[in-house]
């Protein structure tokens, strides 16, 4: 019902020498959604967890894992969830939250019972989630599309016109360190987070979805002067270390969820990189 794997942190000098296979093994997260299963990846980058739950025939409970050494999953953690599938329900200690596609839910430290359900097994919910250590308990809060902070970015001239939806950010939801949002590329645009940036104060994870069948995305990572790339399929995620850029270009438009944890809650804390300086 639940499986997890552990990923270690990496020195940028080591990553320079990784093969394609090694890059994918260490940073790509695959198979997030499997029928009636919860899949977790526990990263040593700020002890960030990336997960996916796909309830079809039954409710799925978010159980603790051995790496956490806790009595329950959120004993010392907070959780952010975004539904990217059919309608579903998340139950938190007996209270139910209905989530349609692209709606979010924040759950604070100390919540003991978290269950995932789908409204229909023919169109199951796909719950993508991130989790980070927490020092304080904040109340659960649903963030629908109408509560999101929406920012229009980019320009069709540069193929990066996109709509950024801030969902679980400190201006909307009180959190300890977790921040999450959803960005949608406008049709005909393919570049995300370009110009790129780094932020040594926070790590990040990208989850790519709504990619047309037969298409792909090249996710760019690495130090600005020493970049690497990983080709991504629909419903895959990638870890981005604090020293790495995180940008991508697809063979068609798509959406992606960004999640962050680390030193601060300042969305604008980033060190920009001029595109012509990339190598």
Superfamily (CATH H level) for 2-277: Jelly Rolls (2.60.120.10)
Write down the pLDDT at residue 144: 96
- % of the chain with per-residue pLDDT over 90: 99
Structure tokens at 215: 């298409």
Tens digits of residue pLDDT in 79-102? 999 999 999 999 999 999 999 999
Write down the pLDDT at residue 211: 98
Tens digits of residue pLDDT in 102-128? 999 999 999 999 999 999 999 999 999
Does the reported pTM lie above 0.95? yes
Q: Which residues contact 42 (CB under 8 A, 6 or more apart)?
A: 4, 5, 6, 7, 49, 65, 67, 68
Q: Is 24 helix (H, G, I), strand (E, B) or coil?
A: helix
Q: Is 93 helix (H, G, I), strand (E, B) or coil?
A: coil
Domain ranges of the chain: 2-277
Average pLDDT for residues 118-143, to the nearest whole number?
98
C-beta separation of 47 from 76 below 8 A: no
CA dihedral 173, 174, 175, 179 (to 10 degrees): 30
Write down the pLDDT at residue 188: 97
Average pLDDT for residues 167-182, to the nearest whole number?
97
Q: What is the DSSP string of 145-183?
A: TTTSEEEEE--GGGT--EEEEEEESTTTS--SS-EEEEE
Categorize the per-residue pLDDT at 1 as very low, low, confident or very high, splitting at 50, 70 and 90.
confident
Tens digits of residue pLDDT in 47-79? 999 999 999 999 999 999 999 999 999 999 999
The rounded mean pLDDT for the chain is 97
Q: How far apart are CA 122 and CA 54, in angstroms?
A: 12
């Amino acid at each position: 019902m639940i499986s997890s794997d552990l990923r270690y942190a990496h020195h940028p000098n080591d990553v320079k020498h990784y093969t394609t296979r090694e890059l994918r093994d260490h940073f790509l997260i695959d198979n997030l959604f499997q029928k009636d299963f919860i899949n977790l990846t526990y990263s040593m980058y700020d002890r960030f967890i990336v997960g996916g739950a796909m309830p079809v025939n039954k409710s799925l409970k978010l159980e603790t894992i051995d790496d956490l050494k806790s009595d329950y999953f959120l004993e010392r953690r907070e959780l952010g969830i975004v539904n990217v599938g059919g309608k579903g329900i998340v139950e938190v200690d007996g209270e139910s939250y209905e989530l349609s596609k692209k709606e979010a839910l924040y759950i604070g430290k100390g919540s003991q019972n978290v269950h995932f359900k789908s409204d229909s097994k023919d169109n199951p919910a796909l719950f993508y989630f991130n989790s980070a250590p927490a020092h304080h308990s904040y109340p659960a809060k649903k963030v629908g599309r109408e509560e999101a902070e929406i920012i229009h970015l980019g320009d069709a001239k540069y193929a990066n016109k996109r709509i950024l939806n801030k969902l679980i950010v400190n201006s909307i939801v009180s959190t300890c360190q977790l921040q999450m949002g959803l960005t949608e590329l406008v049709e005909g645009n393919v570049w995300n987070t370009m110009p790129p940036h780094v932020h040594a104060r926070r790590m990040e994870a990208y989850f790519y979805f709504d990619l047309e069948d037969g298409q792909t995305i090249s996710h760019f990572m690495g130090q600005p002067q020493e970049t690497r790339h990983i080709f991504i399929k629909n419903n895959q995620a990638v870890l981005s270390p604090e020293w790495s850029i995180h940008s991508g270009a697809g063979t068609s438009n798509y959406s992606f969820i960004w999640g962050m944890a680390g030193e601060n809650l300042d969305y604008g804390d980033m060190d920009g990189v001029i595109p012509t300086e990339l190598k």
